[in-house]
Amino acid sequence: MFTSAGIARPNGMGEDSVTLVTSTRAYSLASDLVQMLWPLLDETNGRFIYEYEDGYHALITQQIFPDNYTGIPYRGVIRPTDGLLYLDYIPTSDENGLIYKYRYLKDTILSVAADTFPCTDACFRALVPAGAEFVNRVHKNKFDEAMFKTSVGRAARLLGKPPQRNSYA
């Protein structure tokens, strides 16, 4: 629906943390992470981990002897091979247990009843007939393609519009 309207799909925002562990350079991130919002923040000590702007390949090629880089990390990058946070310095026992919070854009997923759609109520209501056509296709082996396309098109037109006001008070 977002693609047909020419609008980028919205992402929610999440917050998580990374706890430094002695001799560990790479850390897993939230599973629903789409984009990291740098920097990471150690709220206890006021330290930051900023993004390594030149990327992962530049970081590993600039550190000829990577095991020599130990201590408080200052920069990090998301490793493209496995999606882990890769730090420029390897934490020692002095840094063990430091907690860095980070914020990120997360994928919009509807998984529990309390989740809300990333569109207005009018847009959602326009999608109901399209959903009904999917049910008809699965259970009745019957599908009205024109109704489906009309519903998705109506929803896509409503997607980019701001919601109407209920009141001007």
60 in the same domain as 32: yes
Mean pLDDT, residues 98-122 taken together: 78
How many domains is the chain built from? 2
The amino acid at 99: I
With 0-12 / 13-18 / 19 or more C-beta atoms within 10 angstroms meaning exposed / middle / buried, residue 109 is exposed
Q: According to the model, what pLDDT value does residue 138 have? A: 83
Residues facing 85 on adjacent strands: 27, 78
CA 4 – CA 26 distance, rounded (Å): 39
Is the pLDDT score of 165 beyond 60?
no
Q: Are residues 45 and 70 in the same domain?
A: yes
Asked whether residue 169 carries a pLDDT value surpassing 60, the answer given is no
Query: 97 with 124, same domain?
Result: no
pTM: 0.65
Residue 19 lies in a domain: yes
Give the chain's mean pLDDT. 85
Question: Tens of pLDDT along 151-164?
Answer: 888 877 777 655 55
Q: Has residue 126 been placed in a domain?
A: yes
Same domain, 87 and 142: no
> What is the structure's pLDDT at 28?
96
- Strand partners for 90: 70
124 and 56 in a common domain: no
Mean pLDDT is lowest, of 37-41, 90-94, 98-102, 158-162, for 158-162
Both 123 and 101 in one domain: the answer is no
Q: Does position 1 have pLDDT exceeding 80, yes or no?
A: no
Per the domain annotation, does 4 fall within a domain? no
Is residue 81 one of the residues assigned to a domain?
yes
Residue 71 lies in a domain: yes
Residues 56 and 19 grouped into a single domain: yes
Locate 81 and state its tokens: 């091979």
Q: Which residue has the higher pLDDT, 163 or 8?
A: 8
**Under a CB-based contact definition with an 8 Å cutoff, are residues 168 and 17 in contact?**
no
pLDDT class of 15 with cuts at 50, 70, 90: very high
Range of the domain at 49: 12-106
Residue 86 confidence (pLDDT) above 70: yes
Q: Return d(Cα 107, Cα 13) in angstroms, integer.
A: 9
What is d(CA 161, CA 164) in angstroms, rounded to the nearest whole number?
9
Residue 129 covered by a domain? yes
Residue 16 banded pLDDT, cuts 50, 70, 90 = very high
Percent of the chain beyond pLDDT 70? 81
What's the token pair of residue 114?
């309390």
Q: What pLDDT shows up at residue 168? A: 59
Instruction: Give yes or no for a contact between 151 and 127, defined as CB atoms under 8 angstroms apart.
Output: yes
- Residues 24 and 97 placed together within one structural domain of the fold: yes
Whether 104 and 36 have beta carbons less than 8 Å apart is answered as yes
